[in-house]
Homo-oligomer: A and B are copies of this chain.
């Protein structure tokens, strides 16, 4: 089932609350917490560089011949523009696939708390493993993407959550075989509005003691009552206690509540999310999607066998 090109889809992930657990070993480092994976996500197309050049590439990823030749490295595009994502480069290096052309496409806002960097890393791991026939297992690939994301300081828990799908609870931090996950059963519409960026690196680089204490409290609440409403309740408490709530978000959460709904802030971004039609009911013009049941997966394009 391998090929010289492959495509993976990875759901977006909004973190409701978390506690940071850094460690020297990136497989051990990570976060506890909970969040929601979204049917809005990231599609990653990987082609085995030179092998594709002869045939051309529908995604236009390999159009820039000058750039591609010489260094033996493939190109990365983000929504069609040449660019680079550190965690993606590290995943390709780990899989001995630096010749890959990688096309990352997403409708999600970048840097706004949707785990786009983790999704790009995980999608690259799944698609490159298939395109280059590396024969790694799912746990191996999730671990490689998790280590790359943690190593770049761009996230701690998105990758393992995005691999599982649904509404993941991160009971113990770390890569598969080290960390531990549970989930809240449920299917629902999810609405979100983004007001701009918030730097994950800055927050995670600062003193995370108070934040982590608030995250542990929120996790205890959710484990005692694993329901979607408890997730948003605990998330609001976390945002307050960790002093991360920004004015636009606080206002939106209040508006949703007075409209009879439930909303919370996505960590870490200037993003508010709600289940059902909470944000629409409050008069916002949100993006709408659903909880993603599947988690990260390879997808067939044209039913390739």
Name A residues whose Cβ lies closer than 8 Å to a Cβ of B.
Answer: 1-2, 126, 129-130, 135-139, 141, 165-166, 169, 176-177, 180, 182-189, 223, 225-228, 275-277, 293-295, 297-300, 303, 305
A226-B137, A297-B166 are contacts. A305–B189 as well, Cβ < 8 Å? yes
Minimal beta-carbon separation of A58 from chain B (angstroms): 19
A187 and B225 form a contact (CB under 8 A): no
Q: Once the chains bind, are B294 and A277 in contact (CB under 8 Å)? A: no
Main secondary structure, interface of A, reads loop
**A130–B186 CB distance below 8 A:** yes
CA distance A2 to B226 in the complex (A): 12
A137 with B1: CB separation less than 8 A: no
| CB proximity of A284 to chain B, nearest CB, Å | 17
Task: Enumerate chain B residues within 8 angstroms of A187, measured Cβ to Cβ.
Answer: 1, 297-300
Q: Which of A177, A186, A188, A225 has the most CB of B within 10 A?
A: A186
Q: B305 contacts A182, CB within 8 Å? A: no
Inter-subunit contact A182/B189 (CB<8 Å): no
**How far is B1's CA from A159's CA once the two chains are assembled, in angstroms?**
26
